[in-house]
Amino acid sequence: MTIFKSLEELHHMLVNKEISCVELTRSYLDYIDSADSQVKAFLTVTADSALMKAAKVDKKIAGGESLGPLEGLPMAMKDNMCTEGIPTTCGSRILKNFNPPYDATVTERLKAAGAVLLGKLNMDEFAMGSSTENSGFHPTANPWDLERVPGGSSGGSAACVAAREVPFALGSDTGGSIRQPAAFCGVVGLKPTYGAVSRYGLVAFASSLDQIGPLTTNVRDNALVLNAIAGHDPKDSTSVPFVKPDYTQFLENNVKGLKIGIPDEYFASGLNPDVAEVIQKAIRTFESLGAEIERCSLPHTEFAMPAYYIIAPAECSSNLARYDGVRYGYRAEADDMIEMFKKTREKGFGQEVKRRIMLGTYALSSGYYDAYYLKAQKVRTLIKQDFDRAFEKYDVLLSPTAPTTAYKIGEKSDPLAMYMGDVYTIPVNLAGLPAISAPAGFVGGMPVGMQLISKHFEEGTLYKAAYAFEQNTEYHLQMPALLKEVR
Amino acid sequence: MSFTDKYEMVCGVETHVEMATKTKIFCGCSTEFGGEQNTHVCPVCLGLPGVLPVLNKEVVNLAIKAGLALNCEIAEFSKFDRKNYFYPDLTKNYQTSQYDLPICKNGWLDVTVNRANKRIGITRAHMEEDAGKLVHSGETIMTSSSSGVDYNRTGVPLLEIVSEPDMRSIDEVLAYLEQLVQIMDYAGISDCKLEQGSVRFDINVSLRLKGTEQFGIRTETKNLNSFSSVRRCLEYETERQAEALDDGGEIIQETRTWDEGRGMTLSLRSKEEAHDYRYFPEPDLMPLVIDRDWVERIRASLPELPAAKKARLQSHGLSEYDAGVITAARAMAAFFDQALARIDDAKLLANWVMGDLSGLLKTNGRSFEDSPVSPEQLAGMLTLIKKGDISGKIGKNVLEEIYNTGKDPETIIKEKGLVQISDESELGIIVDGILTANEKSVADYQAGKESALGFLVGQVMKATKGQANPGLVNKLLKEKLAQ
């Protein structure tokens, strides 16, 4: 069946006219129809516009024109990236009726690359959460076990790729929101260097931490998607004018001499021993492939979590101030204006969003700024320096992506317990570094992800390491049982 | 006892200047005034979800230029911050502004009040975005059943210039504001159209007993947009505060608004409701690193500013008053300078520029910017007067003729036959005729009645329709009467 193929294979099928783009698109739409009733990854399915786009690609093929590597291939986007005329809700009831009048830069770039948008994906409201249970609409299920969470906040993106509802999806990562769900769902998720992919049109959660990245079933697909979306954007002042390489050139099955650091702090208490075992095995695999492994230390790691939970809510409290029910989105009925604002926010925002707005407002308020926000920024500098020192010695750092595998829906009701799930991913966002999560094994039938971290703009090194691992293991080839049933 | 005997006022002003860029501070929308409502808007200045600001470099150029003109230090490292508050005309519910690292600080302005010089400190000047405009269905927000918002002004770049509380009289405040606006106009920072709200003042004022050091409790009156409003507001507010203090009451630190119609200030919000703006660095914009070459290039491009221009005009022999009047308006000063390049008589030129030409423009509702008489034409006409080709009186007619027809002065006097009669033999014949016809006056003069000479001069001028050279007429008459 077509839906289990890689982007490269699908591309060749189109070019060789083994399948038309309309047929390909329709087969994915049909599959979404049957599978998504269980996974619930999609918030919006854009069948009509997808088929129209596919027909255009078919015309191109019929005309003998050559196709770009993503042209005619199906994909979906997390619902916090603006798509002109297509609902962009950010997983929040407050933006339920919001149809942006413009495209995000990543949307524009994927359109230009000819990819076919099949729909918008579920997420924790405003990207706040680690399980996609905080969606304002419904939770998404983990395709490996429908009673478990897919992770978050890009849970919809990870789940739909894991369930092969699309070959690739975009997610966003503020504190681990691409990597943690990628680990929980057994797919490849990359959080690029801050500034490598434009944030223009990404509905902001925490501006200094947010970054868009691809989720795919294998490393090569991931590199192909990054090729399409990375690069400088004059519409985003924090976007960096760097020379974008062809990321597929790094995909060689060779890690001989690659220096890999294993940070002690990422293997401390809180790490599930079975997950630790899987990661130790992955380390041994790298060793057997000729990589040089060494233990190292990132001494300020324990302060990353508290610093993150000051900085991210502070920025969110400001970024979310615009949602007042006046100009777009949901509006509550009330007798006067102030009541209307209050009710709109009371009903439009969920618990977690309100909690973080309160936290951030408090942390920024006069008298507390120095004690919280300023101190958190200082911690952030120390964490960056930890990494700088480590990268003087190592090409990549390797750690678990998350301390556990996916837990049951409703299992973690304490927000603090949920926050701990991002303990290994958050430092990367604070430092603006690129990191990838790739399938590393299974515990009790649930996927385990390993995280690889590299220097700024060294995504190529991550792809190189992850690709070599992938070529020498078979975890990425395993598929959820759900698919067999549907099939 | 009036309050001025008992109290001294302490005043500082925050001035918001709309900078004269073509596009907004963080997007490419037009800043033009008066467009149809909500036509100069895009997702960025509307603050739609997902948009990001991109700083307009021209705004930084103008801010540096303004800072240099106000003798400020220009920061080497500056940044933008978010000022979080809830306003209906600001879509993002925060304003992107500058907080602890403004682009300009520690400047000053010298003003002259009652012949005394006074230096007013400038604490800082920073860049920020303007908000939109509320359009009420009724007279005021309180009496309206609905209000709309026009976002055309949202994102127009502002420079907020904060003075030290150095001003001690209403005259000092006005001198500072007039000088400030003049400089912004000269340096091309702003079009300075006060009536369109492109310059707005927030007035902070308090009173203290004369001779004491401690500042009193101040009030801030927001959004005044004319010098006369500032004067009336300060008159009202100082009187109000003096009365309250005299009655043993206390001044509440609060924000007030000026009611132009009723001529009074009204309380807007008190300190208890004061906003906590929760400033933090704007994460969507990179910090500004301003290299010194950039600053020096801008310094080199600064035009001559009013104070320097005034001093230069005085060095050309103009009185302080005349030099002040001419430099007060940039267009008049520019006109004057262009004419001065063609005629080396500043005093004569000043008289005509401030007198006849100003009058002519004013009568016709025009300004020096679109004067139909060019500086070259005025200088040309004055040269003719100096050469003695025409009299000053004829000059007035010639000026009007230039104004109406646009023709050059030489052409006009040729066409109209207005050339002065300076030919001695030609004038001699006319003088002889007048002497013959006015025997009584001749006798009077010779009997010692000096005023008779004036009458005879007048008769000659009348006979020549004013074209006779008055000096020559005088000389010839005296000679002939002495015979």
Residues of chain B found within 8 Å of residue A104, distances taken between Cβ atoms: 50
CB of A321 within 8 Å of a chain B CB? The answer is yes
Counting beta carbons within 10 angstroms of the beta carbon of residue A245, is it exposed (0 to 12), middle (13 to 18) or buried (19 or more)?
middle
User: pLDDT tens digits, residue range B260-280?
Assistant: 899 999 988 776 666 799 999
Q: Decide: A400 and A181 in contact? Cβ < 8 Å.
A: no
Query: What per-residue confidence (pLDDT) applies to B1?
Result: 45
Smallest CA–CA distance, residue B85 to chain A, in Å, is 9
CA torsion sign for A346, A349, A355, A359 is negative
| End-to-end Cα separation, chain A, in angstroms | 9
Strand extents, DSSP E, A270-412: 292-296, 396-400
What does the pLDDT average to over B452-475?
A: 84
Q: Is the pLDDT of residue A487 over 60?
A: no
Q: Is A60 known to be catalytic? A: no
Q: Is B278 in Cβ contact with A318 (below 8 Å)?
A: yes
CB of A340 within 8 Å of a chain B CB? The answer is no
Q: Is A88 in Cβ contact with B278 (below 8 Å)?
A: no
Q: Which has the closest alpha carbon to A323: A194, A205, A425?
A: A205
Query: What per-residue confidence (pLDDT) applies to B2?
Result: 56
CB of A94 within 8 Å of a chain B CB? The answer is no
Q: Is A235 in Cβ contact with B52 (below 8 Å)?
A: yes
Length of chain A: 487
* Closest residue on chain B to A203 (Cα): B50
- Enter the tokens of residue B218: 């101040």
- Three-class secondary structure of residue B83 per DSSP: strand
- Cα–Cα distance for residue pair A53/B362, rounded to 1 Å: 66
Who's near A227: CB < 8 A, 6+ residues apart? A69, A244, A246, A247, A248
Q: Decide: A156 and A163 in contact? Cβ < 8 Å.
A: no
Q: Is the pLDDT of residue B142 over 80?
A: no
Q: Is the pLDDT of residue A1 over 60?
A: no
Q: How would you list the strands of the sheet with A168-173, edge to edge? A: A42-45, A116-121, A74-78, A168-173, A211-216, A188-191, A435-443, A446-454, A396-400, A259-263, A292-296
- Enter the tokens of residue A430: 């604070």
Chain-centre distance for alpha carbon B456: 48
Smallest CA–CA distance, residue A98 to chain B, in Å, is 9
Q: Is B49 in Cβ contact with A88 (below 8 Å)?
A: yes
Q: Is B54 in Cβ contact with A235 (below 8 Å)?
A: yes
Q: Which of A96, A235, A340, A349 to mutate to test the interface with B (most CBs of B within 10 A)?
A: A235
What does the pLDDT average to over A216-237?
A: 98
Length of chain B: 483
What pTM value is reported for the model?
0.90
Letter for the amino acid at B153? R
Residues of chain A found within 8 Å of residue B46, distances taken between Cβ atoms: 327
Chain-centre distance for alpha carbon B477: 50
CA torsion sign for B366, B372, B377, B382 is negative
Q: How would you list the strands of the sheet with B81-84, edge to edge? A: B94-97, B81-84, B280-281
At residue A485 the predicted structure's pLDDT band, cuts being 50, 70 and 90, is low
Counting beta carbons within 10 angstroms of the beta carbon of residue B256, is it exposed (0 to 12), middle (13 to 18) or buried (19 or more)?
buried
* Closest residue on chain A to B281 (Cα): A315
Chain-centre distance for alpha carbon B55: 29
Higher pLDDT, A204 or B418: A204
Residues of chain B found within 8 Å of residue A365, distances taken between Cβ atoms: 276, 278
- Enter the tokens of residue B194: 């006060």
- Cα–Cα distance for residue pair A308/B365, rounded to 1 Å: 63
Q: Decide: B402 and B423 in contact? Cβ < 8 Å.
A: no
Residue from the list B49, B54, B276 with its beta carbon closest to the beta carbon of A98:
B49
Query: What per-residue confidence (pLDDT) applies to B392?
Result: 83
Long-range contacts of the stretch B322-331 (C-beta < 8 A, 24+): B322/B347, B322/B350, B322/B354, B325/B354, B326/B350, B326/B353, B326/B354, B327/B182, B328/B178, B328/B182, B329/B368, B330/B182, B330/B185, B330/B186, B331/B367, B331/B368, B331/B369
- Enter the tokens of residue B288: 């500004």
Residues of chain B found within 8 Å of residue A204, distances taken between Cβ atoms: 49-50, 284
Q: Is the pLDDT of residue A149 over 60?
A: yes
Q: Residue holding tokens 């597929």?
A: A248
Q: Is B53 in Cβ contact with A237 (below 8 Å)?
A: yes
- Cα–Cα distance for residue pair B359/B454, rounded to 1 Å: 29
- Cα–Cα distance for residue pair A437/A157, rounded to 1 Å: 14
User: pLDDT tens digits, residue range A181-193?
Assistant: 999 999 999 999 9
Residues of chain A found within 8 Å of residue B92, distances taken between Cβ atoms: 321-322
- Enter the tokens of residue B55: 């700083």
**A13-17, A302-306, B454-458: segment of lowest average pLDDT:** B454-458
Residues of chain A found within 8 Å of residue B88, distances taken between Cβ atoms: 326
Q: Is B88 in Cβ contact with A326 (below 8 Å)?
A: yes
Smallest CA–CA distance, residue B130 to chain A, in Å, is 16
Who's near B421: CB < 8 A, 6+ residues apart? B427, B430, B464, B467, B468, B469, B472
Q: Is the pLDDT of residue A159 over 80?
A: yes
For chain A, give the mean pLDDT: 96
Backbone φ, ψ for residue A154 (5° rounding): -85, 40
Residues of chain B found within 8 Å of residue A80, distances taken between Cβ atoms: 50
What does the pLDDT average to over B390-395?
A: 83
Q: Which of A172, A200, A212, A317 to mutate to test the interface with B (most CBs of B within 10 A)?
A: A200
Q: Is A177 known to be catalytic? A: yes
Q: How would you list the strands of the sheet with B199-209, edge to edge? A: B73-74, B104-113, B116-129, B157-163, B7-18, B199-209, B219-224, B254-259, B264-270
Q: Is A200 in Cβ contact with B278 (below 8 Å)?
A: no
Q: What is the 3-state secondary structure (H, E, C) of A289-304?
A: CCCEEEEECCCCHHHH
Q: What is residue A445's DSSP assignment?
A: T
CB of A104 within 8 Å of a chain B CB? The answer is yes
Which H or E element spans position B480?
helix B470-482
> Strand B288-289 and strand B77-78: pairing?
antiparallel
Residues facing residue B161 across a β-bridge? B15, B125
Q: Is B278 in Cβ contact with A361 (below 8 Å)?
A: yes
* Closest residue on chain B to A81 (Cα): B50
Q: What is residue B357's DSSP assignment?
A: I
Who's near B239: CB < 8 A, 6+ residues apart? B3
Query: What per-residue confidence (pLDDT) applies to A486?
Result: 56
Q: Is B50 in Cβ contact with A201 (below 8 Å)?
A: yes
Query: What per-residue confidence (pLDDT) applies to A215?
Result: 98
Residues 237-256 of A with CB under 8 A from B: 237-238
Q: Residue holding tokens 């975005």?
A: B129
Q: Is A235 known to be catalytic? A: no
Which one of the listed residues A92, A131, A135, A153 is annotated catalytic? Answer: A153
Q: Is the pLDDT of residue B352 over 50?
A: yes
Q: Is B94 in Cβ contact with A317 (below 8 Å)?
A: no
Query: What per-residue confidence (pLDDT) applies to B469?
Result: 80
- Cα–Cα distance for residue pair A48/B262, rounded to 1 Å: 62
Q: Is A208 in Cβ contact with B283 (below 8 Å)?
A: yes
Which one of the listed residues A78, A120, A412, A455 is annotated catalytic? Answer: A78
What does the pLDDT average to over A60-73?
A: 96
Share of chain A above pLDDT 70, in %: 99
At residue A2 the predicted structure's pLDDT band, cuts being 50, 70 and 90, is low
